[in-house]
């Protein structure tokens, strides 16, 4: 029996720092959407403050890890989404994050320790406001539903690609990956 892939969806951020809470907001929306359209049981949804060790433990052993985080650019375009993908060994600069340490360091350290997920996708959203307070600014809040749909689509694409490579069952019968 082929075991379902473990997929980690990690919302990075601090909900008490306005737009820095985009990651947890998307994870919360995914939980809400899962009431009507359940995610596969192999999908783990998690919030994280961006601490390096916690990030590494959340994605270790995953076939796919999707990280949603706030990013800051100057000049910024609040709500703009940047997509960074990593498959195989890491060979680039640290990913942009709103945290002093965290995502980039977790990627680099995971690579050195052989603990990267098979595939890592980072969705970084430019924010406008990191001040103390709750609630996303309108431009950032406007992308939450779109990001939740993107995450669901990535999970489906990953599951379908895996089924093609490992074969799948149709009416209880195993079919080859190409048929």
- Predicted structure pTM score: 0.84
pLDDT at 101: 53
| Best CA proximity match to 100, nearest among 121, 141, 125, 69 | 69
Residue-level pLDDT, tens digit, the chain, 179 residues: 455 669 999 999 999 999 999 999 999 999 999 999 999 999 999 999 999 999 999 999 999 999 999 998 778 899 999 999 876 554 454 444 444 456 888 888 888 999 899 999 999 999 999 999 999 999 999 999 999 999 999 999 999 988 887 754 443 444 443 33
pLDDT at 88: 54
Strand partners for 168: 175
pLDDT at 127: 95
| Best CA proximity match to 5, nearest among 175, 170, 159, 169 | 159
pLDDT at 99: 47
pLDDT at 87: 66
CA-based end-to-end distance of the chain: 19
Distances (CA, A) of 79 to 19, 34, 59, 144, 149: 9, 24, 25, 9, 15
The secondary structure of the chain, three-state, reads CCCCCCEEEEEECCCCEHHHHHHHHHHHHHHHHHCCCCCCCCEEEEEECCCHHHHHHHHCCCCEEEEEEEECCCCCCCCCEEEEEEECCCCCCCCCCCCCCCHHHHHHHHHHHCCCCCEEEEEEEECCCCCCECCCCHHHHCCHHHHHHHHHHHHHHHHHHHHHHHCEEECCEEECCCC
């Amino acid at each position: 029996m082929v075991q379902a892939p473990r997929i980690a969806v990690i919302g990075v951020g601090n909900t008490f720092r306005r737009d820095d809470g985009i990651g947890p907001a998307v994870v919360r929306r995914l939980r809400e959407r899962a009431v009507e359209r359940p995610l596969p049981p192999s999908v783990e949804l998690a919030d994280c403050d961006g601490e390096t060790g916690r990030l590494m433990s959340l994605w270790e052993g995953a076939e796919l890890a999707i990280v949603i985080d706030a990013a800051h650019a100057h000049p910024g375009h609040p709500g703009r989404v940047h997509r960074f993908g990593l498959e195989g060994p890491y060979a680039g600069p640290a990913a942009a994050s709103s945290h002093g340490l965290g995502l980039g360091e977790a990627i680099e350290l995971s690579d050195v320790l052989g603990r990267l997920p098979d595939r890592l996708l980072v969705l970084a959203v430019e924010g406008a406001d990191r001040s103390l307070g709750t609630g996303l600014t309108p431009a950032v809040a406007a992308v939450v539903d779109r990001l939740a749909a993107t995450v669901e689509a990535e999970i489906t694409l990953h599951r379908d690609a895996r089924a093609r490579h490992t074969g799948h069952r149709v009416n209880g019968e195993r079919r080859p990956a190409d048929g």
